[in-house]
Amino acid sequence: MPGRTVRARLDSPSEEALRRLTASGLTESQAVRLALIETSERARRRSGLRAEVRALRDDPLDTAERLALLSDLDALTPELPE
């Protein structure tokens, strides 16, 4: 498989993570590639979620519905004794 070679100095947690992955049967190269791909995918999903949250936060109709729902929930919540 042609590709770029990357070198990295591993700290103790990284060494342990690599040890666990290779113990599962992966080669070091496979483990590093898998970690890069999974981390990149996780970052992409988080970025998408952040964009979705910002869009909802900035949507006046969604904000109105959210406030109305919170008001309804407040009305259903019984008063707690002090």
In the chain, where the domains are located: 12-76
The pLDDT tens digits of the residues spanning 1-22 come to: 678 899 999 999 999 999 999 9
Note the Cα 64 to chain centre separation in Å. Answer: 28
Q: Can you read off the two tokens belonging to residue 17? A: 């993570």
Name every residue whose Cβ is closer than 8 Å to that of residue 66 and which is 6 or more positions away in sequence: none
Average pLDDT on 42-67 reads 95
The pLDDT tens digits of the residues spanning 58-82 come to: 999 999 999 999 999 988 888 888 7
**Using N-to-C axis directions, what is the helix angle for 12-23 and 28-57, rounded to 10°?**
110
**Are the C-beta atoms of 18 and 28 separated by less than 8 Å?**
yes
The pLDDT score that the predictor gives to residue 76 is 87
pTM: 0.63
